[in-house]
Each structure stands twice: as C-alpha cells, then as structure tokens.
Chain A
Amino acid sequence: MSTAPKTVQSKETSSLSEKGLKAGSVGLIGAVVIGVSCIAPAYTLTAALGPTVSEVGVQLPAIFLVGFIPMLLVALGYRELNNAMPDAGTSFTWATRAFGPWIGWMGGWGLIAATIIVLSNLAAVAVDFFYLMLGQIFSNPELADLSKILPLNIATTLVFIALACWISYRGMETTKGVQYVLVAFQLLVLGWFAVSAFIHVANGTAFDATTISPDWFNPFAVDSFSSFAAGVSLSIFIYWGWDVTLTMNEETKNPEKTPGRAATVTVLVIVIIYMTIALATLSFAGVGETGLGVGNPENQSSIFAVLAGPVMGPFAILMSLAILSSSAASLQSTFVSPARTMLAMGHYRALSPRFGKISPTYKSPSVATVAAAIAAAGFYVITRTVSENALWDTITALGMMICFYYGITALACVWFFRAEAFSNARSFFFKFLAPLLGGVILLVMFVKTAMDSMDPEYGSGSSVGGVGMVFVLGMGVILLGVAVMLVMYRLRPEFFKGKVL
C-alpha cells in the first residue's frame, strides 16, 4: 500500500526542550526542590549515617564534607558529556564512544546495578518505616517488629517494588505540588529532629551527650586510609542526586543562570542539613557501641528508626512519615533510570532488542521497567536471606558501584574530549582536570574498598565462605555483568564489533 504521499508530520507547536520537558517551567526554587528530592536527604541519612560512623567515628562531619569533592568533580564532567552527546544510555553510550564497547558495556552495567541496588534498598527502608509507622499509629511496638520477620519483610518489600514498577510503567509522575510538599516536609522534620536532639543535650537528657569538637571536621584525623576510603565511597551515595540540577537546561526559566545557582543553593541546603543532623546525632547519642550509640551495630541499618523515638518523643511518627513518603517517591522515579538505560542498551543491540520495547499505551519502556523490578526484587531476596544486616551491606556495596560507574564516566569524559582539553582554560578545567581528578579518586576508592571488603569482618561482619559480604555483593554484581556481557557477545556480536555505536 502506498502511503508515503499521505504522511505529513506536523511541527511541534508547544515550546518543548529536547528532553521532552516543558521549556522554561522551572525556576530557582523549583530546581532546588528537584535537587533535594533527588537526594532524598531523610532517606540517605537514615541509610548511610550509621555505616559511615562505623567507619570514621566522630569524623563523620569531615567525611560528609570531603565526600562532596569527588562528586562535584565528576558531575562537572557528566555535564560536559551530557551537553555534547545527549543520549538515553548516558554512561553506557559515553564510555562506549570513548573506550569502545567492552568498557562501555560495563559502565552501563555499573549504572544499572547501582540503580537496581538503590531500588531494593529504598523499598526495604520504606518497608521498615511502614511497619514502624503502623506501630506508632496503634501504639503497638509489636507491629513495628513485624518487619523483622523475614518472610513477611520480603513479601512486603516485593509488594512495594511491584507497586512502584506498576506506577512507573503506567507513566504516572510525581507532580510539582506533591514534590514541593514532600521536600518541605522532609526538611521540616529533619530540622525538628536536630532541634529536639540539641534540646535533650542542653537539658542533660541525651543518651550520651558528647561535646562537639573541631576535630570532628578534620578528615586527617580518620585513623586509617581504609576507613577514609570507605567513608568517602559512602558519602558519594549521600550526594548522589545532587548533580541533577547541573544537567538542567531548557526546562529552566533562565538556562544561563538557573542550573548553576540551583546547584549551589542545593548543595548549601544539603550540606547544612547533613552537618546539622550529623552534629545533632553525634552529640545526642555519641559513637558508643551500646544502647542508642551510633556505633552500635544494631543501629547501623536505619539510624532514624532507632533514634527518632527517643529524640522526638510522640512526634517520631512524623519522621516515619517523612522517610516513608520520600523513599516511596524516590522508588517510583528511580525506576525510570535503569529502565531507560536498559532500553538504550537494547536499542543499540548491546542487550536483547526486546529491552528496547516501548509500551504503545503508556509510552514507557515496558520490558525494561519490568526487568528492573525483577532484578531489584531478586537482589533484595538474595541479600536479605544471605546477610545478617542486608541494608548496611547493600549501602556499602552501592557506594562501591557508584564509584565504579561514575569513575568510568569521568574518565570517559577526559578521553572523549582529549583533543580539545588544552584549547582553552575552560575546557582544560571542565573537560580534563576536574573529571580526571574525580574519576581517579573514585576508582581509587573503588579498588581500596573492594580490597578491604574481602575481610569477613568488613561492614556489618556478614560473610560468605570466609569472604566479606560487601565484596561478594559488589564483585558478584560486576562479575555477573562480565558473564552477561560475554553471553551477549556470543549472541549479538555486532555491538561488540563496534558496528552500532
């Protein structure tokens, strides 16, 4: 049937950016709200504060500050790549263009793995606070303990993952209003927690009142390089999300100025929150390994689940609500990312083309979204059954995975732009120096953490066959990637022969 003469594609009439977002719709405050919501500080703090203290003790504030530096350096490179090669595959596509298909494939795998791990962790944290909140609503601590029953916990987490997958598949989105409320509520509750903690310290009712000392801000006071590396890779995780503001463009009201200002304001807001909460927590509970002490392994997996009650009294339920709502919102939006990366990899024939399918009804990646949910569910079931402290270990493994794919991305930037690196001062700094430093720091952290984590006592102290759980998780995921990559090479060699990208 000859149809060609009948086809007329109409021009887009509404003003849209190349990302498919409404152009000029985000102001400075909006951009900061988006940045803060991507970071989800209530969630990152409850997940990472304990594990970080167990590594660096009272130097928590120092590590939180230092951790921002590599994130900043890499994010600058990410922005350059994103402007030069906008692509749904991000790290996968860029690393393939810079270093060829093999490293590119592993970069993509690292990105997918990191987002899958964070999905399973988000769901787990949401479930913990869901039961905790039930316990608080009905003043019945037994309800909160339900999350400790393994089969029930796994079942509930799978339900949460399935729900978020369904919402993401249907293309439903968090709207502006909801996002403003979620972010404002999070900040309010975190502020409330900090103020209450300091009041307890002042009244002498704190668990282990500890005097703030300037030494807490000195990163060189951390006892070993191992602890330092572990602390930094954990604090990469707490800033993961911040760089979303840097990559904003036409969707902002003033693309020249808004993204830069928003990134600055966001990081100031986040650093203030992190410092305040870190100081409040340490002064209230100390780093002791008993009772409410932040060093107590029992408290590592979710610090606010333990401390919100003693600090905030009956208002602790607000903390549960804040973390539950923000992690649920993140769960839904985070699904988009691995799905789109897998879609891009399917599109470029680096995975089965089935992953490139788009739902005709909802116009979202169909197979890839479901695959992300299955992977996140599988990862959770495995870690939960194997590890005694799954949340703690997954967060540490996640830090490693972020260092891995971000390190590759940063070096891809350096290599991709090598010809223009020395053409002017701006190029030298943004396309060469910053990503080079950031990439090297992250890969060093990755290697150091990987080596240290072989010790069975590392992290939560769970181990498999005499090797630390974090190593098994992190390396297991990477080796699985290598295996899948080799299978893909056998099945569809055209991508690996450099014929696609």
Chain B
Amino acid sequence: MRYVVGYTANARGHDAVHLAVALARNHDASLDLVLVIPEDSPFNAVYPPETGYNDILNEQAQRWLDEGLAQVPADVTARAHIRRGDSEAQTLIEVAVEMGAAALVIGATTGGLLKRFTIGSVASALLHSSPVPVALAPHGYQRTEPITRLSCGFGTRPGADELLDVAVESARDRGLPLRLVSLLALDGGNSPGLADAAWVHAADRLAADQLAAVGGSAAATPEPEIVVAQGRTIEEAVDRLDWEDGEILLIGSSRLAQHRVTFLGSTANRILRALPVPMIVVPRDYSRQSS
C-alpha cells in the first residue's frame, strides 16, 4: 500500500510527513514524498528571457526532498519525487491516482491562530476534488508513533453507511479499537432526540456488518464504542470529547460531492477547525482497496 505525501519544505510539509509515518507504521505501507514545482506558463511573458531558473529550482527541490526523507525513520520505506504542474492540488491528485495510492497525506497549514486547523489553499482544493481519501495533519503534528485508535464521524445522512463500512474494515485491518462519534450542535436546530436516532442507526448498521462477517476475522475485533457528543456548537461538541494523542478521525465527504470525489461540507469544515487530532476525509462512495 502506498501513501502519497504532498511535501513542502516548511512546517506544513513536516506535519504531513509525521502523520504519514504514523499511518504507515505497523501497516506495511510505503510513502511517496511528492514535491510539486510550478510549471511556468510561457504566456506569463517573462522578460528578459532566461532559461536557467528551472535548474536552480530543481536542485533546490532535490535538497528539500532529501531533508524530507531524512525525517522518515528507518523502519518506513519512502521514495521522493519531483513533479511539475500548474496547480499543486491537481498534480498531487494525478500522482495519487497514477500510483494507486491509498491516501493523500498533507499538512493543513501553518499559522492558524487559536484554531488548530486553518485550511491552506492546496488542502482546500484537495478536499474539494480528491478521488482518494485525504489525510490532514493538524498544525504542529509531531507524533510518528503508530495510530492507537480510529474514530469515525457518523450520522444518518446518505453515505454514512458506506463510511461506516470503510471504518470497520480499516479498524479490523489495523487491529485498532473503533469508536463511532456523533457530533451534534444543538443551536443548529438539532433536537436531543436526533442523537438517539443516530445511535440506534449506527448500532443497527454495526450489527448488520458483524452478521455479514460472521466466521471471518471479524469475531476477533472488539465491540466498537459509540459516543454522542453534544454542544451548543459543533466546535464545543468536538471539545467535549476526549481524544487520544494517537487517535485519528475518519469523516465522510459532503452530500454535495460528486460520485467518488471528496467535498468538505460545512459541518466537516467546522469539525476540522476544532479538532486536535488528524483526520481523514473519505470520498463519497469510496470503497477500500484490499491491501
């Protein structure tokens, strides 16, 4: 299994490498660090003309990638690639698709004051168009130990069941405890009754999954925990939950997404801003490739 890391030689890129290492450990995955350098448009009409900047930039990119590889510990395999493209996000998606990557790992951005995630333009573009899951490292993510728990945001909306399936399978593959979290903002017109409905829905779905996997390795997986968190706002709900350091949150893409493309809905966006741990946004109707 391969993870494509959108690497830049700054704090954002380092966060991404750390998260990618954490995801790859104990999971037989290799990393592909991809540094995108811009492709000049000849129509930009640079004058006086010169032809050597590209060489200097390439040299610099190689050095940057060497630094990036140096951050990857010896037990994780990593390769480095320089790619050219007009748009960084588009190029990363192309590389991820071409390599058959299981996920794209990027850093959210630097300098988010107070908020843990501020979405940079590249991250934002990826979250709106990636056909593969996008893993976002929060600002200043240092941890490279393996992931310890998988959380999955769930609801009752269409697409939630598929996401749940992805989460259950992932947890099983990685041998991780699974926690289902439902985040409710009461000021959004959500009644406390909705929480119960979500809980019941998730429990039913899980039961169905367990039934389907009878006889398989599923029997060995511990029973998932189901938590409903409420708050005046989504942000408050996120804050009220306890998060392990090694936790990662899986959330689904918005209903507005085209088939198999991620789209960060407004709720997911707000969760993201308050979340202290990394998260993975899974495209709608995404089915996991078996490793």
Which residues on A are within 8 Å of B, measured CB to CB? 1-3, 6-10, 12, 14, 16, 18-22, 25-26, 30, 33-34, 37-38, 82, 86-91, 93, 111, 115, 171, 173-176, 178-179, 240-241, 243-244, 247-248, 251, 329-330, 333-334, 336-337, 340-341, 343-344, 347, 356, 358, 360-361, 363
Given that A3-B66, A12-B84, A361-B10 are known contacts, is A343 also in contact with B53, CB under 8 Å in the complex?
yes
Q: Which of A3, A25, A341 contacts B70 (CB 8 A)?
A: A3
A34 to B80 Cα, complex, angstroms: 35
Contact string against A for B residues 25-48, beta-carbon threshold 8 Å, 1 for contact and 0 otherwise: 000000000000111111111111
A372 to B51 Cα, complex, angstroms: 20
* CB-CB nearest in chain A for B37: A363
Q: Which of A9, A33, A173 contacts B62 (CB 8 A)?
A: A9
* CB-CB nearest in chain A for B53: A88
A487 to B73 Cα, complex, angstroms: 45
User: A454 → chain B, closest Cβ, in Å?
Assistant: 29
Verify B82–A10 contact, CB threshold 8 A.
Answer: yes
A247 to B47 Cα, complex, angstroms: 11
Chain B residues within an 8 Å CB radius of A14: 39, 84-85
* CB-CB nearest in chain B for A86: B51
Whether a CB of chain A sits under 8 angstroms from the CB of B52 is yes
A440 to B201 Cα, complex, angstroms: 86
Chain A residues within an 8 Å CB radius of B85: 14
User: B120 → chain A, closest Cβ, in Å?
Assistant: 9
Secondary structure call for the B interface: mixed
Chain B residues within an 8 Å CB radius of A340: 50, 53
* Residue in A111, A115, A244, A330 whose Cβ sees the most chain B Cβ within 10 Å: A244
- Having A173-B40, A344-B53, one finds 5 other A-B pairs with CB under 8 Å, namely A9-B62, A10-B79, A21-B42, A30-B43, A82-B49
User: B221 → chain A, closest Cβ, in Å?
Assistant: 33
Verify B42–A88 contact, CB threshold 8 A.
Answer: no
A40 to B72 Cα, complex, angstroms: 50
Verify B46–A336 contact, CB threshold 8 A.
Answer: yes
Chain B residues within an 8 Å CB radius of A30: 42-43
**Chain B interface bracket (under 10, 10 to 19, 20 to 34, 35 or more):** 35 or more
Chain B residues within an 8 Å CB radius of A10: 79-83
> Which residues B42-97 have CB closer than 8 A to chain A?
42-57, 60-62, 64-66, 69-70, 72-74, 77-85
Verify B84–A16 contact, CB threshold 8 A.
Answer: yes
Verify A2–B38 contact, CB threshold 8 A.
Answer: no
* CB-CB nearest in chain B for A364: B38
A77 to B140 Cα, complex, angstroms: 52
Verify A16–B39 contact, CB threshold 8 A.
Answer: yes
A347 to B64 Cα, complex, angstroms: 16
A274 to B78 Cα, complex, angstroms: 59
A68 to B82 Cα, complex, angstroms: 42
A18 to B84 Cα, complex, angstroms: 12
Verify B41–A174 contact, CB threshold 8 A.
Answer: yes
* Residue in A18, A93, A336 whose Cβ sees the most chain B Cβ within 10 Å: A336
Chain B residues within an 8 Å CB radius of A1: 70, 73-74
Chain A residues within an 8 Å CB radius of B83: 10, 12
Verify B43–A175 contact, CB threshold 8 A.
Answer: yes
Chain A residues within an 8 Å CB radius of B54: 18-20
* CB-CB nearest in chain A for B8: A360
| Interchain residue pairs with CB less than 8 A apart (30) | A1-B74, A6-B69, A6-B77, A6-B78, A7-B66, A7-B79, A9-B62, A12-B84, A16-B84, A18-B55, A20-B39, A20-B40, A22-B39, A34-B43, A37-B45, A86-B50, A86-B52, A176-B41, A241-B47, A243-B48, A329-B45, A336-B44, A337-B46, A337-B48, A341-B50, A347-B56, A358-B56, A358-B57, A361-B8, A363-B37
Whether a CB of chain A sits under 8 angstroms from the CB of B13 is yes
A262 to B160 Cα, complex, angstroms: 58
Whether a CB of chain A sits under 8 angstroms from the CB of B9 is yes
* CB-CB nearest in chain B for A341: B50
Given that A7-B79, A20-B39 are known contacts, is A337 also in contact with B47, CB under 8 Å in the complex?
yes
A20 to B39 Cα, complex, angstroms: 6
* CB-CB nearest in chain A for B31: A6
A171 to B82 Cα, complex, angstroms: 18
* Residue in A333, A344, A358 whose Cβ sees the most chain B Cβ within 10 Å: A358
A91 to B54 Cα, complex, angstroms: 17
User: B82 → chain A, closest Cβ, in Å?
Assistant: 7
Verify A244–B69 contact, CB threshold 8 A.
Answer: no
Chain A residues within an 8 Å CB radius of B72: 3, 6
A353 to B54 Cα, complex, angstroms: 18
Given that A3-B70, A20-B39, A361-B10 are known contacts, is A174 also in contact with B57, CB under 8 Å in the complex?
no
Given that A6-B69, A8-B80, A361-B8 are known contacts, is A88 also in contact with B43, CB under 8 Å in the complex?
no
User: A186 → chain B, closest Cβ, in Å?
Assistant: 13
Q: Which of B41, B64, B80, B84 contacts A9 (CB 8 A)?
A: B80
Q: Which of B42, B48, B66 contacts A34 (CB 8 A)?
A: B42
A358 to B58 Cα, complex, angstroms: 11
* CB-CB nearest in chain B for A252: B42
User: B166 → chain A, closest Cβ, in Å?
Assistant: 29
Given that A6-B72, A12-B84 are known contacts, is A334 also in contact with B47, CB under 8 Å in the complex?
yes
Q: Which 9 A-B pairs have the closest CB atoms?
A: A88-B52, A20-B54, A86-B51, A87-B52, A360-B9, A10-B81, A173-B44, A8-B79, A88-B53
